[in-house]
């Protein structure tokens, strides 16, 4: 398992992470979220051994993860790290990039393994294409395939789908995270996208002001967000009587004590996000049909059972 004990780190005189402690079992998936500059990417680099710690220890099983003061070559054989900058070979083909670290002594096995990985990242049709001719999203998929080629015990992913088109992103997520689960590969993913977390992560860590402010399952953090920062990760929300209420938890009723005046309707596909004024404050709620500006509606809170 991964054990992070009392980790602290700073750039020059600027603290980035303080007193970070968490663990991850073999095969578990952990999501790290937080605002830009909260230390998500830095934490992944520390887990990989790219920097030396100011304080604390990191272990994978019984192996301590150490930085460049102790290792001439950064990284460990059992761990792979996929950054937002792809370290690929541009003048070779996609299949050559993916199979780079697979043994040439077993050509049939290498060919089959490469084909399997290209299928996972949906690049089978581009096997013979040189990487330099690919789009940014396709290069990101090559990097993902190459990272899991030798089946690491743990993989670190930094915004792994940031360059990928929406119409490919959903199926790619399902393929990749299913592959990692099926092969019992632990995963730590830093992300700003809730769709990278919901349905895939076993646990979620929230970073703010250099520290972990929440560590629980995505479902529990969604149902009981303790701060607006946590709620904002999951979608539009309101603060009503010191309670965090998601936009989909407000519904229109025939009559109530809460009368809102519509300001604008935003089309969102299968619903409209309605911006309105309630008691002098802006609120948001969902509705199945478009509402006109200055329409008066009555709303009530409809929260799920805890």
200-230 pLDDT tens trace: 999 999 999 999 999 999 999 999 999 999 9
57-74 pLDDT tens trace: 999 999 999 999 998 888
Element (H, E) at 117: helix 107-120
The pLDDT-based confidence of 105 (bands split at 50, 70, 90) is confident
Sheet holding 272-278, edge to edge: 250-253, 296-301, 259-267, 272-278, 281-287
**Percentage, residues of the chain above pLDDT 70:** 99
Please say whether the beta carbons of 30 and 189 come within 8 A. yes
Mean pLDDT computed over 260-276: 96
The model carries a pTM of: 0.90
Phi-psi category of residue 145: left, alpha or beta, with phi > 0 → left and psi -120 to 50 → alpha = alpha
- pLDDT at site 306: 46
In three-state secondary structure terms, 100 is: coil
Q: Give the chain's domains with CATH numbers.
A: 2-223 (3.40.50.300), 236-301 (2.40.50.140)
């Amino acid at each position: 398992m991964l054990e992070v004990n009392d980790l602290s780190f700073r750039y020059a005189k600027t603290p980035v992470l303080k007193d970070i402690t968490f663990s991850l079992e073999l095969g578990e998936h952990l999501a790290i979220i937080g605002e830009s500059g909260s230390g998500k990417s830095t934490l992944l680099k520390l887990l990989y051994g790219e920097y030396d710690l100011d304080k604390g220890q990191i272990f994978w099983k019984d192996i301590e993860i150490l930085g460049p003061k102790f290792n001439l070559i950064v990284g460990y054989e059992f761990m792979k790290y996929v950054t937002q900058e792809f370290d690929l070979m541009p003048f070779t083909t996609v299949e050559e990039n993916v199979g780079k670290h697979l043994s040439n002594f077993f050509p049939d096995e290498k060919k089959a393994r490469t084909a399997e990985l290209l299928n996972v990242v949906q690049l089978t049709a581009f096997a013979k294409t040189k990487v330099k001719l690919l789009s940014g999203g396709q290069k990101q998929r090559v990097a993902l395939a190459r990272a899991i080629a030798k089946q690491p015990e743990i993989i670190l992913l930094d915004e792994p789908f940031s360059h990928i088109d929406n119409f490919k992103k959903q199926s790619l997520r399902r393929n990749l995270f299913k592959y990692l689960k099926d092969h019992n590969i632990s995963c730590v993913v830093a992300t700003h996208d809730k769709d990278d977390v919901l349905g895939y992560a076993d646990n979620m860590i929230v970073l703010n002001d250099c520290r972990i402010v929440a560590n629980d399952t995505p479902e529990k953090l969604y149902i009981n967000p303790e701060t607006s920062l946590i709620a904002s990760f999951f979608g539009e929300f309101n603060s009503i009587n010191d309670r965090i209420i998601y936009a989909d938890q407000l519904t229109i009723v025939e009559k109530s004590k809460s009368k809102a005046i519509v300001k604008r309707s935003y089309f969102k596909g299968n619903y409209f996000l309605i911006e309105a004024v309630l008691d002098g404050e802006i609120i948001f709620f969902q509705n199945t049909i478009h509402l006109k500006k200055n329409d008066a509606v009555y709303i009530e809170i409809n929260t799920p059972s805890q």
